[in-house]
Structures are given as C-alpha cells and as structure tokens.
C-alpha cells in the first residue's frame, strides 16, 4: 500500500449508490478537497453473465457493457484519472448489503477483477484505461470463506510493483462474521459504526477493542471511524457534528487510527444540518479527522 506520508488522517467516502442533487457526480467528487480516498460502490455480484461480475452504480450509470451486467459509465475513465491526478486513491468496493454469493473461487475471481479493473488485460474494461488503486471488501453475507485467499491472490497479481490497497468495511461487532480473519490481511479497515449497537456513544469502547486486536495481529493496518453522512443515510448511528467530534477525539490517540469514513459522499455533501460554521458535513469530517 502506498499513501502519501503526509496523509496521516484521511477522509474516505463511498460513492455510486446515492444521488441527492443534480450536481452530484464522480467528477464533482474528484474536485472535492475534503476527500482523500474514493470507494466506488458496488461490484455486487461475484459471478453474473458470462461468469463475469456485475457492477451497479445506479443512479449514475444507466447502461451495461454489451453481453454483461457490468455498468457502463462513459465518463468514469477520465473521472478516475482526474481523482488520481488530484492525489486521491480510487478503490472498487466488492459486496454491499445485497450481495449474497459466497467466495467459492478466489483465484478465478481475483484474475477477473484484476483484468477488468486493475493492471491486467481484457477486451472488456468497464473503466477503459483507468486503473483502480485497490479493492474494498464490504462483505455482509455472513460467510467468511475465501476472502483471505482472494486478498493473497490480488497481492500476488500486483507484485512486483506492489502499491495495491486492500481495504474492508467490517461491522463494528467483533469478530466480523462476514470477513472473519481476513480483516488481519487488510491495509485499511473502515469500521461501520452504524446500524449496530456499537455505534454512537459506544464508539470509543468498540474502537479500543478493534485497535488492540489489530495491533496484535497487523500493527500496520489503519482503522477508520465509519459514520453515516446524514440522518437518512442509515437506520441508526448518525452523529450530530459536535457529538461526532467529541467521540472521534477520544480515539485519535490510538497508534492505528487512520481517520474517518462516511456512507456516502452525496449524503454528506448535501447535509447542511451542522450547528457549526462548516459548509457541509464533508467539510466537517475533514476538520474532525
């Protein structure tokens, strides 16, 4: 994993499933100075038409690559390159709440996504010549089999040049029932402190448990406080700005604290209900990280 050494506390956003205003777009996100890592959501089916994965970036992409269920997003090739030229990392998230398939062929799937979205080669390239910086695992299907093998194979495909970022978005209850021990093989953990009992005021205690466990198993991994970008972004766990600042300040001292993550950018950018002098929740997250 390669991140700028000056970027010690990062702001991470998911993008691709929510559109709150006509101004929302990947291009606009790439120009947002409050964002460091962009996660495109989601690759939501592991094996679909022609044994290729499916991707869904509705409501931004409304067509598919011929003969597949891979979303066709004509502007994403240039948008991803713009993000990267603006010093942002771009990851593709695998999973999401609706993904139910199990990882039964990690080696074959790794080759598929590497050739489609990484530095591999395929006649089908949904993002054209743009190459993602890594892959995110937002696995919520309660089946941890195969994910460690997938991570290992993707890292092998990325060598010898390396630089591949592997992240995950575990639920805050430990152990995560969907990723299992694969969390110990990841570079970045975007812990979902929402839609769970361990969110809200329980964040400091839950983060401490995650921090101690990860320090023992993979001290290089960075942990992020994941929160909803607005009250309607999740069924529970949204934190008003001042409460959020107080809770994050309680975990910043852990050596593996990495910053904050939000679901998702469109929610946070259009959230003006702050009680601070910040322009929107995105600007607030940059300040609090």
For 248-269, give one letter per residue: b (16+ CB within 10 A) or e: beebeebebbbbbbbbbbbbbb
Euclidean distance between CA atoms 64 and 76, whole angstroms: 13
C-alpha to C-alpha distance for 108 and 36, rounded to whole angstroms: 31
SS3 of residue 275 by DSSP = coil
Do 55 and 44 touch, CB atoms closer than 8 A? yes
CB atoms within 10 A of CB 167: 26
User: Which candidate, 119, 84, 98, places its Cα nearest to that of 54?
Assistant: 98
Report the C-alpha gap between 170 and 192 in whole angstroms: 6
Structure-token pair, residue 250: 């309680």
Active-site annotation holds for 140 = yes
CA torsion sign for 38, 215, 185, 49 is negative
Cis peptide leading into residue 160 (ω within 30°)? yes
278: nearest Cα among 240, 238, 236: 240
Single out the catalytic residue among 77, 140, 153, 283: 140
Say if residue 103 is exposed, middle or buried (CB neighbours under 10 Å; 0-12, 13-18, 19+).
buried
Q: How far apart are CA 264 and CA 22, in angstroms?
A: 16
**So which residues are the catalytic ones?**
140
């Amino acid at each position: 994993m390669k991140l700028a050494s000056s970027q010690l506390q990062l702001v991470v956003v998911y993008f691709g499933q929510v559109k709150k205003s006509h101004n929302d777009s990947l291009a606009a996100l790439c120009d947002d100075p409050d964002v460091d890592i962009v996660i495109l959501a989601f690759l939501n089916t592991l094996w679909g038409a022609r044994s290729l994965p499916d991707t869904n970036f509705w409501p931004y992409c409304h067509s598919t690559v011929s003969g597949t269920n891979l979303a066709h997003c004509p502007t994403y090739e240039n948008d991803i390159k713009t993000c990267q030229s603006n010093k942002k990392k771009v990851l593709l998230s695998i999973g999401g709440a609706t993904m139910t398939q199990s990882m039964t062929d990690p080696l074959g799937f790794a080759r598929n996504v590497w050739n489609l979205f990484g530095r591999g080669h395929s006649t089908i390239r949904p993002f054209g010549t743009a190459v993602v910086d890594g892959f995110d695992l937002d696995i919520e299907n309660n089946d941890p089999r195969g994910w460690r093998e997938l991570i290992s194979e993707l890292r092998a495909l990325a060598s010898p040049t390396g630089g591949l970022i592997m992240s995950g978005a575990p639920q805050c209850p430990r152990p995560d029932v969907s990723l299992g021990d694969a969390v110990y093989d990841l570079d970045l953990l975007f812990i979902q402190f929402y839609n769970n009992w361990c969110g809200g005021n329980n964040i400091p205690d839950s983060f401490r448990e995650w921090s101690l466990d990860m320090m023992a198993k993979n001290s290089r991994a960075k942990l992020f406080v994941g929160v909803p970008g607005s009250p309607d972004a999740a069924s529970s766990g949204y934190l008003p700005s001042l409460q959020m600042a107080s809770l994050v300040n309680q975990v910043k001292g852990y050596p593996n604290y990495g910053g904050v993550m939000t679901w998702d950018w469109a929610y946070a950018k259009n959230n003006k209900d702050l009680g601070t002098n910040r322009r929107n929740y995105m600007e607030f997250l940059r300040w609090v990280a």
